[in-house]
Every structure is written in C-alpha cells, then in structure tokens.
Structure 1
Amino acid sequence: MSHDIFLLDKSPKFPHASLAQDSPNGLLAVGGDLSETRLIEAYRNGIFPWYCEGEPILWWSPDPRCVFLLDGVHVSRSMKRELRKSTYQVTINRAFKDVIDGCAAPRAKEAETWILPEMKTAYLKLHQLGIAHSIEVWNAQELVGGLYGVSIGRFFFGESMFSRARNASKFALIYLTHYLKKNDFILLDSQVGNPHLYSMGAVDMSRDDFLLLLEEHISWEQPSYLWQTKTLDRWSD
C-alpha cells in the first residue's frame, strides 16, 4: 500500500519509515537539509538521502533492505589466497576525504554521481563528529580503494565504495565486516542491492525486521577506541 510522499519542514523529524512509497520503492520524503542533526535522525530511523543533481533531497527506506550479516560475507578460496598473499595495507579513518572523493569520481558505467558537493560537505562534518568513517586500502603509499559510511549503535551504514586496483574494494568490505564482527556489531547496511553485493554475500531483509533490529541496537554506546585511526591486522582467517 503506497502512502503520500512527505514534504519536510525545518524540523529534523521524519515520518515513520514504514510509510515509505511502494513505487518508487522506499521513497519517504522530499526536502529538508543535510544538517548533522537531520542526517543522524535519519540513520537512527532507517532512512538515508539519495538524489542526483537538479533534484530536491530525497529520503529513502526501501523494502526489502540489502544488508550483510557479519558471518555471511562470501570469501571464495581464491579471494582468501589473495588476502593472505597481498601486500595491500588496510586502515581506518586515515584518509576520509580522499575516500569520499574516490567514491564520487566518474565511473565508466555511470553517467553521473549522487555524491554531490553538498553531500561531501555533510559527510565530512559527520566524520569530524566521529559518526562517519572510512576504510582505506593502500598499495605502498597509494590509495587504491576504500569505502565510507555512518556508524551508530551496532550498525554500520555503508554509503559507497571505489576501487582503482584489482580487488581493492572487496578488501575494504571484507576487512570491515571482519572488524565489525570482532567488535560486536549486528550488521552492515548496504541499503539497495546489486549483483556485486549479492555475489559477496549480501541478503535482503524486510524493512520491518530491519527497523526492529534498529530499535533494539541503535542506542548501544560504541567504545571510544573503535574508530581511532589505525592499521588493521593482516588477514589470517
């Protein structure tokens, strides 16, 4: 059953995510701003912004939701060999701005990016507040891949990833999920599925189940050391 699309005013509050449209799937609200207060409120309630240049800010909560259960990431035998022998170094929060720039760069199969300048500015502010984080993959001193997202409670809400070298974005994803699992997280949210994510082990979860998990785990207080800049231990699984 479809509902009306809500027009946001100055209040950072959102309508309940269950009121999102059936078509287009998950469209909940239009307008508002990308202030830190509104973005945090959105993520805490299973909502995220996604729009292109020339459009108003669009807010989404799709059903189903694409997620990685942290023990369900698919690491093939060949990928395990790559992880063991690779000289890549993987870090946390060493180069957030460079990662978001890499994610926003033009791609061969995509005519435009949704990571507009105002989106970059907004997520850089969240990073400065200790809420948005990056995973970097390095070949010597060259940044060859990475991902970024928002982390609140026991959730990491993935936003985008990029790769400039073979398997670099896969390294970022695998290392991140391993790190999240080790630190008692529940899942990595990938928002909307695609063949690449599903090939890595992503699954669809109903919006109702996703929102129930959020309600249960979003207020968990993350340890202060969790997102300090660091180099992650080499893969040993």
Structure 2
Amino acid sequence: MSTAPILAGGEGALPRHVAIIMDGNGRWAKKRFLPRVAGHKAGVEAVRAVSRAARAMGIEALTLYAFSSENWRRPEEEVGDLMGLLRLFIRSDLAELVRENVRLRVIGDFRRFPNDVVALIDDAIARTAGNSGPLLAIALNYGGQAELTNAARRLAERAAAGALDPAAIDAGMIEAELDTHDLPPLDLLIRTSGEHRLSNFLLWQAAYAELLFVDTLWPDFGVAELEAAVADFARRQRRFGGL
C-alpha cells in the first residue's frame, strides 16, 4: 500500500497514517501512588479512546507502539502484567474491531510471546483480515533496527542466490521488506510524556514524517489531545526536500 509521499500540508490537511509512542504509564501511576500496572491499565483505556477517535476523524491508519524489543528488560512481573493486559484487550475489543470494519495488523516479532497470546493475535488478525476500513497496527516486540537488519538480510540472501542484482537494490525494495510494507506512508509520529526520542520506532518510516512531542502522559492522552495533534499537523508545510 505504501506509495511515494505527496506534497501536503496547510490548513485542513489530514494525516493518512499516524503513529504514537505511548509513553508515561509508569509515571502516571507513580504520581498517583499506584502500582505500575495501574498505569498500564489506564493506558489501555487511552488506546480505546484514541483508536475510536482516529476512526471518527477519518485517519486511515493508526500504529501504536505497545511493546518494544527492549521491553523484555523490564521486571518479569511487569512483562507478565503487560501480557495479561494484551490478552484482555484482544478478548474484550475484538468484537468491536470486527463490527467497526477495522483491519488489525501487528508489526514486530510477536511470536516470541506466550503461545496463548500468539494464538489470540493470530485469531484477531484472521477475523479482521477481510475488513475494508481503517487499519489499526500494533507494534509488539518491535524494534526499528531489527526490522531494517532483517530486510537487509533477506535482500542479501536473494542477491547471494543470484535472484537479485545488488546494484538494483533501491529504497522501494527495502521498503517492500519492512513490516509496514502494506501500510500508508507515515505522516505524523507522536510521542507522549515529554521525552524527545524515537526509541527505535519506525526509523525508516519516520524519514519525512512530521514529529510531535507532547508532555501529556499517555493515560491522559485522549480525543482532545489527538485533535490538537492533527490540527498542528495541518498547520505544517511538508516539502520532502523541495521548496
């Protein structure tokens, strides 16, 4: 689905593809003297609110950074809590996604997750595969560097087998090997919680995306905050290296 970017911007422009680094659940809980899992639970509620708002606004694709390849470094108990919340989200929200004609996509190596979680994800993807509406992509055990490494390895293997001329490799070929090959070009990348880094998220895809860093902790990021982010995007002029 990915195509070359179209010059866009100015009042009224709507991003086709929005990605969000959902950061700040732990700090949200700490401010309220609650365990970290309470922040993650509140973060799931924010996922519901923002994904519904994105659909209502006409955003074609929403990608959410839910579990990075580095998140395995967190305490085992917290990783277990996150797996439990993922199970709960799929079981409780899948019917709505099917009803709302949403196509669920997962980017990243989610097959490292527990077998029952993998089965739930596979079932959710299969049950929404025939939908023709907006895309909801969830990044699970995802890392941008690993994604690029895997893409380069696959192209190198084809070249070594004589099926590909190395001189013919271009950006389009690399993009076709990425997890996001069937998503629209990334227009707007938002990070919550006041941090100003990409944290290994969509490194290739963010090359010409508009970046927005907000202080709001993820559980407090809702409809109004998404609308403000889209309004900010609409005021920007995107030149993609041109004038």
- TM-score of the pair, normalised by structure 1: 0.31
- TM-score of the pair, normalised by structure 2: 0.30
The structure with the largest helix share of the pair is 2
Structure of greater Rg: 2
The structure with the largest strand share of the pair is 1
